Structure 1
Amino acid sequence: MQPTPPILEITDLVLAPFGRQTTYGADHLKIARGDVIAIEADAALDSRQLLRVLATLDRPEKGRFRFDGSDVDLDDYRRCLAVKRRIGYVAPDCAMVSNRTVRENLLLTRFYHENDLSIDLDETMALLCKDAGLSDDLNRRPSELNDSVLMKTIAIREMGKRPLLMLIDRPENFIQITPDDAIFNHLKNMVQSKTAVVFFSNNEKMSDLGRRQLTLHNGTIRIMDSQ
């Protein structure tokens, strides 16, 4: 039996943070199934940029990508769509389509890939919306939501993709890191199902979930087991 390939593998990575002269590099960056990785960075914005690179939203200065065992050509946007569909990304720079309802925004990926506008939220997503207190917001436009509710909605949208890799920037800004929070519980369920999770957080309870640590320090990117 051949070993299971990493979810994401980048070789010869060079990350050049915006507006800064420093760069970070890694010969081989590998994220495996079931990894729960907490980021520590010299600057918080560097962690955001790394998350965007991992999500294939930004191109690094240099690097060769493989996702779930296949090469990824970052210059071919259409072929990258299948990869982007399997990556969840939740951060303050995320957005929703302003002239669609929350319900429609949650379904856009399925509308596109299933070519069916008549579908509705599946049982898991509908329950998650209910438990997160969003049921009354489903027919509103994104502009009618406050920032916290909007970020919760984006988190549910990305979780609804059933991603192989989940990337989250400062979840404490929109969810409670407690067993009573529906989104936090769903995230833990994803971890138990071997979804890889990479996150940046200033909340100690969240950081304690990290089984491994990814550091951006003194020009080097490293992943190591948490102590």
Structure 2
Amino acid sequence: MLPIIEITELALALAGAPGHFATNRLAIAQGDVVAVVSDPPIDCRHMLRVLATLDRPDRGTYRFNGDMVSLTDYRRSLAVKRRIGYVAADAAMISNRTLWENFLLTRFYYENDLTIDIDKTTEALCRDAGLFPHLHSRPSELSDSELLRAITIREMGKEPAVMLIDRPENFLEMVDADGIFNHLKNMIQSGMPVVFSSHNSKMNDLANRRLTLAGGEIRKWPL
């Protein structure tokens, strides 16, 4: 089975040390739940941004579902970006659109249909997060915690092939009663790959792989 994301001859310049961190091959496959570990933590986000095609590595060939992706051409990589859920402090919503529109913009574009509505899963997550009454509010009208949860729901609602999350404890409540956390666990149980960086023990307990950035190497191994 082909990995979802594969980067060969990868090299990154990171904040934690001079020189490059490198590996011959980094692959994220179905069923992988990968905890990224680095000091300083900002390097973890840089790795997630590279996996999300938001940053270019210093060297490397990027493939998504076996197809090579040109990281120098933003428009041609949009079809890949929409298949990747990315939740981090630098993720944002379009400020002059309502929450409802932000949830649906990608589908409007790709399905060429302005009559569609949010799906039942997104609606249920919004209700659980207390966001349903705010669907026609703009992002600036939400509290900070509401906005973070809205970003998480939007990325989950993309039906991504892989989820990338930096500090999930900042975006959702890491308790069994939290609907978004339960949905994330359901995604993991379905086999969707998840790559994350977290200081939360409940999140780290879900990992079955570890990706470390240390000593000039990028290493991934099973737990």
Q: TM-score, normalised by structure 2?
A: 0.97
Does 2:136 align with 1:166?
Answer: no
Q: 1:131 to 1:72 in 2, by over 3 A?
A: same
- Check the 8 A contact 2:16/2:39 in 1, yes or no: no
Does 2:208 align with 1:184?
Answer: no
- Check the 8 A contact 2:152/2:171 in 1, yes or no: no
Q: Deviations over 1:144-199 (max 9, x none)?
A: 11222111101111101111110000011121111101111110111111110000
Does 2:69 align with 1:72?
Answer: yes
Q: 2:153 aligns with which of 132, 152, 156?
A: 156
Q: 2:20 aligns with which of 15, 18, 23?
A: 23
CA shift for structure 1 position 109: 0.6
Q: For residues 63 and 154 of structure 2, what CA distance do their matches in structure 1 show? A: 24
SS in 2 for 1:116: coil
Q: Partner of 1:104 in structure 2?
A: 101
How many residues of Structure 1 are paired with residues of Structure 2 in the alignment? 223
Taking only the aligned residue pairs, the percentage that are identical comes to 59
Q: 1:194 to 1:131 in 2, by over 3 A?
A: same
Q: TM-score, normalised by structure 1?
A: 0.95
- Check the 8 A contact 2:93/2:102 in 1, yes or no: yes
CA shift for structure 1 position 17: 2.3
One-letter amino acid of the structure 2 residue matched with residue 51 of structure 1 = L
Which consecutive unaligned segments of at least 5 residues does structure 1 have? none
Q: Which runs of 4+ in 1 moved over 6 A?
A: none
Q: Deviations over 1:188-225 (max 9, x none)?
A: 11111111000000111111111110101111111111
Q: 1:212 aligns with which of 203, 209, 212?
A: 209
Which consecutive unaligned segments of at least 5 residues does structure 2 have? none
Q: For residues 96 and 7 of structure 1, what CA distance do their matches in structure 2 show? A: 26
Q: For residues 88 and 219 of structure 1, what CA distance do their matches in structure 2 show? A: 28
